[in-house]
Amino acid sequence: MRTVGLLALPDTRSFDVAVTAEVWSVDRVDSGIGPFELRICAPRKAPVTLRPIGSLVPTHGLDGLAGCDLVVLPGRYDPLAPVPQSVVRALRSYDGVIATLCSGAFTAAAAGLLDGRPATTHWRLLPQLASVAPRAEIRGDVLFTDDGSVLTSAGVVGGVDLCLHLVRRALGASVATALARRLVMPPAREGDQRQFVEAPVPSRPAQAGIGSTVDWASGRLESPLGVGDLAAHAGMSERSFQRAFTAAMGTTPGKWLLAQRIRHAQRLLETTDLSVDRVAHRCGLGTAANLRRRMHSALGVTPGAYRRTFHTP
């Protein structure tokens, strides 16, 4: 992987351009990385506007993509902005590796490149990507996907993870590790993008019995509550409570209770210095081992890794 093409379209995100340039345009031959040639390819040779700031002068037309080992599709400020048919044709005829950064997946989708493939993007854009690429396998719990010839990345910084992965795949782990060291970042981040998703506070159900039980349980997460306790508080049989709760909340009582405990654990890890054992006890999950298992299943990350990422002293 020596020649890399960056597709420049109007309102391309300047961060994605910077990531691509940082990895494949900076001279690091003294560290055994490269050399690389970075081509800026666009439908026209006129400067291309970037968002939120800057512009980019193409070095090649779309025909420059043909000689590249890798083509990078950066995100655009408006992911749903039209993609010129000349670009669609060029991408469909290109027979090398294509990597999308963040919302660049929408450019690949416009060319039909995601059909039948796993794909991801920023977590806030996942529903839109599923709409424009209905034949893709949309994955919301990964930092990037690799289907051989088409790779996609999640979020803006997820593009850095994907670029390091591409270097590792093409040039080996030692080169990727050396590059990560130069970038002052880990060769591979822990967890996946689920840990970065904003978890909104669930709305209080209108049903009086269910609403009061939700309030009651939310204030007692440290206690060993079960579905039977929630049903008893609501004055219902477990079967009736299960039906009423699921209809009101859109999930079962057991799943809701577990989700609230994980949310509480996240808040404690973010805002306190409590040990993982104490956090597990305070959120009602009992042991550190159980908390680790539950958080890894729900967020793809351990409590320790989550705290290192989000803790505010």
The amino acid occupying position 49 is T
| CA pair distance 238, 236, nearest whole angstrom | 6
In sequence order, which residues have a C-beta less than 8 Å from that of residue 244 and are 6 or more positions away?
207, 209, 210, 234, 236
In a 10 Å sphere around its CB, with 0-12 CB exposed, 13-18 middle and 19+ buried, how is residue 215 labelled? exposed
| CA pair distance 72, 74, nearest whole angstrom | 6
Mean pLDDT, rounded, for 98-104: 95
CATH for 208-310?
Answer: 1.10.10.60
Query: Given a cut of 80, is residue 89 above it in pLDDT?
Result: yes
4 - beta bridge partners?
38, 70
pLDDT single digits (tens) 203-224 = 555 565 788 888 888 888 888 8
Q: Are 112 and 87 in contact (CB under 8 A)?
A: no
Structure tokens given for 238: 């477990």
**Architecture in CATH of 3-196:** 3-Layer(aba) Sandwich (3.40)
| CA pair distance 87, 84, nearest whole angstrom | 5
Lowest mean pLDDT among 11-15, 169-173, 201-205, 270-274: 201-205
pLDDT of residue 313: 62
pLDDT single digits (tens) 173-199 = 778 778 877 776 665 554 454 444 444
Q: Are 186 and 221 in contact (CB under 8 A)?
A: no
Q: Which of 74-78, 179-183, 215-219, 240-244 shows the highest mean pLDDT?
A: 74-78
- The rounded radius of gyration (Å) of the Cα atoms in the chain is 24
Q: In the chain, pLDDT over 90 holds for what percent of residues?
A: 47
Query: Given a cut of 80, is residue 5 above it in pLDDT?
Result: yes
pLDDT of residue 207: 61
Mean pLDDT, rounded, for 120-144: 90
Backbone torsion region of residue 11, taken as left when φ is above 0, otherwise alpha when ψ lies between -120 and 50, otherwise beta: left
Ordered by start, the domain boundaries in the chain are 3-196, 208-310
In sequence order, which residues have a C-beta less than 8 Å from that of residue 39 and are 6 or more positions away?
3, 4, 5, 6, 59, 60, 64, 65, 68
| CA pair distance 71, 150, nearest whole angstrom | 10
Helices (H), the chain: 14-24, 85-93, 105-110, 126-132, 158-171, 173-183, 208-218, 227-234, 238-249, 253-271, 276-282, 288-299, 303-310
Structure tokens given for 219: 């204030």
pLDDT of residue 197: 47
